[in-house]
Structure 1
Amino acid sequence: MSRDPYEILPGALLISDAHYSETRPQLLSLLLAVDAGTVKVPQLLLMGDIFDLLFGQIKVTHAMNAEAVAVLQRISRRIPVLYLEGNHDYNLAALFPEATVVPLSRQPFACRCEDRAVLLAHGDFNQPLSYRIYTALIRNGAVLRLLGVINRLTGNGIIAKLEAYLDRKNHCHTMTEYEAFVRAHLAPLALRDVDVFIEGHYHQGKSFDVEGVHYFNPAAFACNLRYAIVRNEQNGFTLHAQEWNEG
């Protein structure tokens, strides 16, 4: 958990779980609108899984997402961009050098929004040991470079299979007993001085209070083209849902 609070600006635009790919390209038009200033925001908060496949050491994934990556790079030169790495997009610090990139190892990530203490996470922290071992291996630079070599030798076979699998995957599902799951999921954390907890990953689009903390799981952009605008007002902190209309 980070000890240095990052400043979240009221009015920031928050996007979670867009899973951008050739079959889900709608994120690009929103990013282009932010880049052009048509959508005016002071800051961009990316909650992870923004890309369906984007890995720092596997160059073919950069090429697959080249236009969206370039737009994000331009945006980060103009306004603050916070990018929480997810389980589909990681080892990105070199790709987005002017953004604040937060790996899984630093999540939940400590922030402030004016007078409120906020924790941000993609959501896949505090997982079973087998998952932690897997994520450590798959984020290892040497392992990724080796996979990149194997992918080239197999004519892009590994990435093509991943793409095909992810294109079939249902990203839009309802979790039963979600509030009980969240309470157990957050129980190991010290939340005594936290006002707000925001995490992606679960695609539920729900908010409720957990032991006095305002909890938000934003809607997945991949499911309904929804993003959120941060509002911090006297009567409470909210994520004001918006639906992106490309037209």
Structure 2
Amino acid sequence: MFFELKENSLFVADSHYNEKNKQFLIFLEKLKSKEIECKQLILMGDMFDFISSESKYFVKRNQKLLDIINELSNDIDILYFEGNHDYNMQPLFKNVKVIKREKQPLLLNYKNKKIAICHGDIFTPKSYDIYCKVIRNHYLLIFLNMLDIKNFISKKIYYALIKKIICFDFKEFETLALKRSRNFDADIIVEGHFHQGKQYTFGNKRYINIPSLCCSQEYSILKDEQFIKIKLNK
């Protein structure tokens, strides 16, 4: 595992990959062909509209992308921050380092600065924390998979998520970002989850929200201490 961010690291968040939102597949194929190049890739969570290692239906639906990620991890340092749509992921990967929700934020060093990275669904009410522990329980998910005869549960989840509207302008986001930044002991805070792609400076802290690859077709590159948004060309 690496503990220092490298120059030109790529950050990708909230692609919510499904049959309608295919930007993540396009991005991965560009990495594979070396049209996009990097040595360090940070996947910020909710990369799939839903997946867990226990769900055979969703693993099968997303196997092509999982295979590409595993292939890329032979040459690229990849960190995968689990989100609220993708969890219990480590069994699906060989060389990718998966950061579970309870291990977030992860603190990394970059040019003598301390950077805190997380998906963004932490520092939440206790009731949500309990919900997260229950829904991620390995044995519960195995049991539910056994009940998923002919994938009727999984298909209902899949098609319900496809209809969900996830791209919106959060008008009070700066207020929320300020409130959230107070929870972090770091110079730079990097989150996904909120799909806003905005940056703020609060005193001696910088707050970075990585854009949603699904919503704005953008990812970010860390260069000269700046998080620069890059448009994904199809």
TM category (shorter chain) comes to: over 0.9
Q: TM-score, normalised by structure 1?
A: 0.91
- Aligned residues with identical type, % of pairs: 30
Deviates more, 1:77-86 or 1:25-34: 25-34
Is residue 166 of structure 2 the alignment partner of residue 171 of structure 1? yes
Is residue 103 of structure 2 the alignment partner of residue 103 of structure 1? no
Q: CA deviation at 1:114?
A: 2.9
What's the secondary structure of 2:91's corresponding residue? coil
Is the Cα–Cα contact under 8 Å of residues 5 and 110 in structure 1 kept in the other structure? no
Is the Cα–Cα contact under 8 Å of residues 175 and 204 in structure 1 kept in the other structure? yes
Pairing 1:29-40 to 2, within 5 Å after superposition: 29-40=26-37
Gaps of 5+ in 1: none
Change (3 A) 1:26 1:188: closer
Pairing 1:7-18 to 2, within 5 Å after superposition: 7-18=4-15
What's the secondary structure of 1:77's corresponding residue? coil
Gaps of 5+ in 2: none
Match of 1:201 in 2: 193
Q: CA deviation at 1:211?
A: 3.4
Is residue 173 of structure 2 the alignment partner of residue 185 of structure 1? no
Is residue 153 of structure 2 the alignment partner of residue 161 of structure 1? no
Provide Cα deviations, 1:79-101, integer angstroms capped at 9, x if missing partner. Answer: 10010000001111111130111
Q: TM-score, normalised by structure 2?
A: 0.96
Residue identity matched to 2:232: W
Pairing 1:206-225 to 2, within 5 Å after superposition: 206-225=198-217
Provide Cα deviations, 1:82-131, integer angstroms capped at 9, x if missing partner. Answer: 10000001111111130111000010111112322100010000111111
Change (3 A) 1:20 1:111: same
2:46 maps to which of 25, 42, 49: 49
- Runs of 4+, deviation exceeding 3 Å: none
CA distance in 1, matches of 2:11, 2:111: 17
Match of 1:228 in 2: 220
Residue identity matched to 1:186: S
Q: CA deviation at 1:42?
A: 1.3
Give the alignment's Cα RMSD to 1 decimal. Answer: 1.4
